[in-house]
Amino acid sequence: MRDLDTYGSEELEEDIAALEDKPAEKCLDSTVVIVESGEKLFTPDTPVYRLRLLYSHETFLAAYSGETLNPQSMVLVPTRYGRDLAQIIGLVPRKEGTPLFSEITRIERLALPEEVEKSLINRNQEQEAFTICKQKIEAHQLEMKLVSVHYLLEEPKILFFFTSENRVDFRELVKDLVSIFKIRIELRQIGVRDEAREVGGLGVCGRGYCCHMISDNLKPVSIKMAKDQNLSLNSMKISGSCGRLLCCLAYEHCFYSEQRRLIPPEGSKVYQDGTVWKVLEVNMILGKVKLAADDGRQIQAASSSFEKVDNRWTFKEKVKPKA
């Protein structure tokens, strides 16, 4: 086993780079809600709700001008695969003067009791279809992982969602499934982040996955975000169960980016009255910067003490040596 100290920086970069989102995954067909121009759907005073598709845990916005809808209510909405049920999360608060939403769909109506009952029956059938499909995948020795199955409410169609590192020729699998279920079959490849959102689980923080419990807005996460936050580039510490960089790395990235613009980085020099100070350590959370002069003096200054003039870092006020 190689010692960590002898592990080359280029090799470390290559190892961590494998945790970044792959370009191919960003193009996978994971969004199933039909979105339209907000201006065509509603006026500024039309109520807007946040909804969730229960089978995929995707959330989206939808306008509805009818009676007020309560949280947990089931409604009928158009999706890319056909009309389906979605659950109301709640009303989206809007302040006067805020612009219309750029992407939004519409709620057709409240779900009928028989439609809710049918969705519950479909859920039991989905479990059976999942087992059958998994057996067929093993029989055909396909390198793919089945994630979930969904019966559409109003169309004779079953959706099978799977993940795979490579392209999969599943034509024979589809033929088998059609012969068994006697209805239309669609296989949809999704990314590993989408899988985590659908399945759920506990993260390294001990709480439920953010993509499953809080937000499914999967923003790309890069190694630069970890570097900007001075985090250890240890794949075990900065990656999630999905095998990709932690989504929460993006939460504070804006803060660190702004702070780096206002604070001199480690190793840089700060000039004042003929004295050159070298930045030894930067703590962005506490807003403290440790510096040392050539004569051995050391100081600790607040992050707000610096400014950049003519591309050179200086102090806003005269500094005093640390006692």
Segments making up each domain of the chain, as ranges: 38-111, 263-315
Q: What is the pLDDT of residues 83-116, one digit of tens each?
A: 899 999 989 887 665 555 667 888 999 999 999 9
Residue-averaged pLDDT of the chain:
81
**CA–CA separation, 159 and 29 (whole Å):** 12
- Quote the DSSP letter at residue 206: S
**Percent of the chain topping pLDDT 90:** 28
- For residues 255 and 225, the answer to whether their CB atoms sit within 8 Å is no
Q: What is the pLDDT of residues 14-66, one digit of tens each?
A: 455 556 666 555 445 444 555 454 445 566 778 889 998 888 888 888 889 88
Mean pLDDT by 10 residues, the chain (323 residues): 44 56 52 48 77 86 89 90 89 68 82 92 93 94 92 89 89 93 91 84 83 72 83 80 82 84 88 87 88 88 86 77 46
Name the strand (E) or helix (H) holding 121: helix 113-139
Which residues does 272 contact at the CB level (< 8 Å), separation at least 6? 314, 315, 318, 319
**CA–CA separation, 322 and 274 (whole Å):** 18
List, in sequence order, every residue forming a beta bridge with 91; answer none if it has no partner.
49
**CA–CA separation, 246 and 241 (whole Å):** 9
pLDDT at 241: 79
- Quote the DSSP letter at residue 25: H
pLDDT at 100: 58
